[in-house]
Amino acid sequence: MNTPSDHPHEPFHSTPRPLDSAPSVSPEQARREQDLVDRVVASFDNTGSPRLRQLMQALVQHLHTFVREVRLTEQEWSTAVGFLTECGHITDDKRQEFVLLSDVLGVSMQTIAVNNEAIGDATASTVFGPFFVEGSPRIETDGDLTFGAKGQPCRVQGTVRDLTGRPVPGARLEVWEADEDGLYDVQYRDERVAARAHLFTGDDGRYSFWGLTPNPYPIPHDGPVGRLLEAAGRSPIRASHLHFMVSAPGLRTLVTHIFVDGCDYLDRDSVFGVEDSLVKDFVQHSAQEPPPDGHDLAGRSWASVDFDIVLAPAE
């Protein structure tokens, strides 16, 4: 068997096998394969944590089922190990290739769906993404989170409520986004902090701030995940969006985006993050139309969007 470093970029050339039919193997071969599955599963029987035992035994069964179903070759397994090794090598404190891999496989969104069951009118959750950073600056109501980032100014406003419709005062909103070049501040090498901040709702549950009108942009695709997308004929582009994380005592923390209605990538977002309820109308305003809070736009056109947020109760 080749080592992972022998052919880290070599594509799979083996003949594909039908996915809708079981492989044809002899009864003795099937028995040997199943015996191995049973022995590996049983090796976790004495795991102290019941949850860890459940996770590992289910993982083993599903992995072995995959290997047996597709009749995985040794070269394919070696290439896969090399791919994962590359994901580890390219990951650092500014880039998380394994998050990207989880995202493009839809695992991130599936995990979110499993852990954030739809409840009433609660706002839908979506992917966290790899570019959140702790310690964002605080802004006040009508403050500007762009801090010099390039893009069209956009006024964002709304109210945070619970499922009963009551406003939630003092809810914390973390907001972050890419600039018009499709880059987050952490992707620059000058340690800038831009297009991210946090603020709090007022006594009436309302919030408002200035950010940037979102644009579509590619996820980092200069590494192994990018090569995977290229091989699959998939685009790395994310639909235009603005990130939110909203929290308040006694309520479930919400991680979500809002998306720009009319964006060309709504139906092919590279990480499957779009929910219809999160697609919003970003209204365009000319430079001659003054904003309601007197914000200095320096003669630029601007946009506005309303996003009311409903938080589910904490479990």
Residue 15, pLDDT score: 59
How far is C-alpha 275 from the chain's CA centre?
12
Mean pLDDT, residues 65-86: 97
Angle (CA) 88 61 35, round 5°: 120
The per-residue pLDDT for 307 is 98
Q: Where are the domains of the chain?
A: 119-311
Strand partners, 211: 154
Structure tokens given for 173: 């909103």
The yes-or-no verdict on residue 41 having pLDDT over 60 is yes
User: If pLDDT is split at 50, 70 and 90, which confidence band does 94 have?
Assistant: confident
The mean per-residue pLDDT over the stretch 266-280 comes to: 97
CA distance 11 to 230: 11
Residue 84 vs residues 58, 72, 225: alpha-carbon distances, Å: 21, 16, 10
Average pLDDT on 235-239 reads 97
Average pLDDT over residues 111-122: 92
Name residue 161's amino acid.
Answer: R
pLDDT computed for residue 9 by the predictor: 47
Look over the chain and give the mean of its residue pLDDT values, rounded to a whole number.
93
Task: Band the pLDDT of 259: cuts 50, 70, 90.
Answer: very high
- Name the percent of the chain lying above pLDDT 90: 86
Span 109-118, average pLDDT = 92
Structure tokens that stand for 100 in this block: 């990207």
DSSP state of 138: B
Q: Rounded to whole angstroms, how far apart are CA atoms 132 and 135?
A: 10
Task: Outline where 48-106 has alpha helix (H).
Answer: 50-70, 74-90, 97-104
Model confidence at 277: pLDDT above 50: yes
Q: What is the pLDDT of residue 5?
A: 42
Report pLDDT digits (tens) over 121-165. 999 999 998 889 899 999 999 999 999 999 999 999 999 999 999
What is the average pLDDT across 160-181? 98
Mean pLDDT of 217-228: 95
Indicate the pTM of the whole model: 0.85
Nearest of 235, 230, 233, 232 to residue 219 by alpha carbon: 235
Examine the pLDDT at 184 and tell me if it is beyond 60: yes
Residue 8's pLDDT band, with cuts at 50, 70 and 90, is: very low
**First CA to last CA distance, the chain:** 49
Q: Looking at 17-21, 300-304, 307-311, which range is the least confident one?
A: 17-21
CATH architecture of 119-311: Sandwich (2.60)
Q: Which two tokens stand for residue 230?
A: 């290229």
Q: Please check whether residue 100 is in contact with residue 225, taking contact to mean a CB–CB distance below 8 angstroms.
A: yes
Supply the DSSP string of 251-290, one letter for each residue: B--EEEEEEETT-TTTTS-TT----GGGEE--EEE-TTS-
Closest CA to 148 of 190, 195, 188, 209: 195
